[in-house]
Amino acid sequence: MRKWLLIAAMMVAMTAKAQNAKGTFSVQPQAGFTVSTLANMESYDLVGTKLDNFVNGGMLFGVEFAYQLYDVVSIAAGINWSQQGTAWQRYDMSGRLQGVLPSDAYGDVSVKNLRVRNKVELGYINLPLTASVYLYKGLAIKTGVQLGILTNASEMSRFRGDGVIEGSNMDFNMDFSRSMYDVSRKIDISIPVGISYEFKVPIVVDARYDIGVTRVNKQHVEGENDWKNGVFRLTVGYKFKL
């Protein structure tokens, strides 16, 4: 079985054709979105209620420089800034806000249909180094290694609802945030794995999943798993030949 798989891979490599000629350089500005989570992060405890860890959406902007090493193999180095992190499921909580907000500051406050959203937002300058193998024309698979430099880290809570404050009806909108920069590691290592397709225009659509290798939290907590980035990114770029 392994022999036949090897033969098939060799046949694909021999019949593959790259969009760019061997020995050419190119630059590709790109933009897109990210869907990320922090693997192994505990569920969020909101006044005795456990909220499951979910995903957080963000944006990505960057540029990639590539060199066509062989007809079917290229290498690329890039730089981008991406929004990452995680979020917890939204939670509807009616009634008084005791235990959530300081009672001495807000007095007699009651809220109906209170919607609570908590999330961790991380920003990274990423430096990916990847190799691509073209399977057929512009279709390529890729992998490599990526260095991430933390630019910002914060935890945010958002409260939205229809409330009664001191006997008056009013919309209830409150946001809280705290910095997590000092408790987060400044360097992140991940393994990008993905697939891309280059059209003749030449527009490049690139889908990758970055598998976190190093932990995000600075201090390891005994008995708990380390948090690690998991990021799906989809970008669209335009390739200029140099």
Q: Which DSSP helix (H) or strand (E) runs through 98?
A: none
- Let me know: does 16 contact 72? Beta carbons within 8 Å: yes
| 120 vs 122: CA distance, rounded Å | 7
With a CB cutoff of 8 Å and minimum separation 6, the contacts of 3 are: none
Q: Which DSSP helix (H) or strand (E) runs through 17?
A: none
Q: What pLDDT was estimated at residue 61?
A: 97
Q: Tens digits of per-residue pLDDT, 131-182?
A: 999 998 899 999 999 999 999 999 988 877 776 655 556 666 778 889 999 9
Q: What pLDDT was estimated at residue 110?
A: 62
Q: List, in sequence order, every beta strand (DSSP E) within 166-227.
A: 168-179, 187-198, 203-212
Q: How far is CA 117 from CA 3, 46, 85, 143, in A?
A: 53, 10, 14, 34
The pairing of strands 25-39 and 240-241 is antiparallel
8-state DSSP, 180? -
pTM for the whole structure: 0.79
Q: Tens digits of per-residue pLDDT, 111-133?
A: 666 777 888 999 999 999 999 99
- Could you read off the pLDDT tens digit of each residue along the chain, which spans 242 residues? 555 445 444 544 444 444 578 889 999 999 999 999 988 776 666 666 667 777 899 999 999 999 999 989 999 999 999 999 998 877 766 554 545 555 554 555 666 667 778 889 999 999 999 999 999 889 999 999 999 999 999 998 887 777 665 555 666 677 888 999 999 999 999 999 999 999 988 899 999 999 999 999 888 766 567 889 999 999 999 999 88
Phi then psi for 15, rounded to 5 degrees?
-95, -5
Q: What pLDDT was estimated at residue 176?
A: 84
Q: What pLDDT was estimated at residue 46?
A: 60
Percent of the chain with pLDDT strictly greater than 70: 72
With a CB cutoff of 8 Å and minimum separation 6, the contacts of 163 are: 109, 110, 111, 112, 114, 169, 170, 171, 172
Q: What pLDDT was estimated at residue 88?
A: 81
